[in-house]
Structure 1
């Protein structure tokens, strides 16, 4: 638990007696803040073999930190004799025994961990669903919401507007009239 109980349960923080009665683990002082130390309770009977990424006894398959703090499985009657045999020379172990030792310590091999898992199919289906919904929404808006295109966007209207400007601005030295030949009734070259 990374948050203190006073943050999670503010009403209980008021009464120190109730707060201490609910508290199940001892507080461990680490640096400038207080954390709750769970120790072997979180390990669930598995052997702690290292420090781990964050210093807590957890098991995670990670590519950047290969060695978890716990073994993957709890030692049972199958693996106990192998653990004793493991302490001597490894040349005495068979390949099957080595694989069994590995499987009790780690969940996956590196090849299994890096193997593709098909998760891309879910991501692709979500992307295509969002794209299809966005397309449907745009078509819906264009068909039912937005008004028709105004007639000022038509080419005929634009040509008529240019002709009006030529007639009204005849003789001016700026604008479209500058590029129009009124005597030959065409654009200047």
Structure 2
């Protein structure tokens, strides 16, 4: 068995997925983490500077709560002298030293946080992919799964049904016959129907007044 298969088949066991579902450590050691959120696995050794949004020792960049509970980076030989120096007058700190202190406490500035990152392209691609997948699935169902539509959905049948209603309901005040001109064999537009209705009401009111 090759090395790739020997690594793949043990992971296909059901027990492996159950165990991995309840584990909190990453399955593969990697330096990649979520960009704007660091959980408990990276909180060790970082100074807790506040309550945070939830009271947990986690780092998270949030626009509505810009005060994480821990610092972004661990203190090292570069930041430790500056931590002592910042306890005194900040006028003694140079702009570069202030920037270093900021970068050790926060991952990015507010301008960097609000800058467009192109993530909308990924969201749009996923949305269009789901829509296209649903469309193709609906087409597949209509052509290969669902039975054919009954003949009552054909246009010829609908036209015949309308003609039957016009014939049987001739002279009625309500229904399709009200909007059909039997003398000219055509439908009456709503504008003409409204005009004729208003004109008829005016004539009736004039007759009653006389």
Taking structure 1 as the reference length, what is the TM-score of the superposition?
A: 0.58
Tell me the residue number matched to 2:112.
112
Partner of residue 68, structure 1? 68
**Aligned partners of 1:44, 1:110: CA distance in 2, in Å?**
25
Question: C-alpha deviations, 1:136-165, integer Å up to 9, x for none?
Answer: 223223333331551673437744884699
CA–CA separation in structure 2 for the residues paired with 1:51 and 1:160: 72
Q: What is residue 176 of structure 1 aligned with on the other side?
A: 169
Gapped regions of structure 2 (runs ≥ 5):
1-39, 173-180, 185-210
| Alignment root-mean-square deviation, CA | 3.3
The C-alpha deviation readout for 1:90-140, integer Å capped at 9, x for no partner, is: 222111111001011111111112222222112111111122122222322
2:121 maps to what in 1? 121
Q: CA, structure 1 residues 108+148, in 2 after alignment: closer, same or farther (shift >3 Å)?
A: same
State how far apart, in whole Å, the 2-side matches of 1:164 and 1:111 are.
68
Paired residue secondary structure (2:60)? coil
**Structure 1: runs of 5 or more not aligned:** 1-39, 167-174, 180-185
Q: 1:134 and 1:164, CA in 2 relative to 1: closer, same or farther beyond 3 A?
A: closer
Say which is worse superposed, 41-50 or 56-65, in terms of deviation: 41-50
Distance 1:85 1:164 in 2: 93
Corresponding residue of 1:187: 182
Q: 2:138 — aligned with what?
A: 138
Higher helix proportion? 2
**What is the rounded CA distance, in whole Å, between the counterparts of 1:58 and 1:156 in structure 2?**
68
TM-score normalised over the length of structure 2: 0.53
Map 1:1-189 onto structure 2 (within 5 A). 43-144=43-144, 145-147=146-148, 150=151, 153-155=154-156, 158-159=159-160, 162=163, 166=167, 175-178=168-171, 187-188=182-183
Rate the CA distance shift 1:76–1:188 in 2: closer, same or farther, 3 A. same
1:21-50 deviation line (CA, Å, top 9, x unaligned): xxxxxxxxxxxxxxxxxxx99841222222
Query: What is the aligned length?
Result: 136
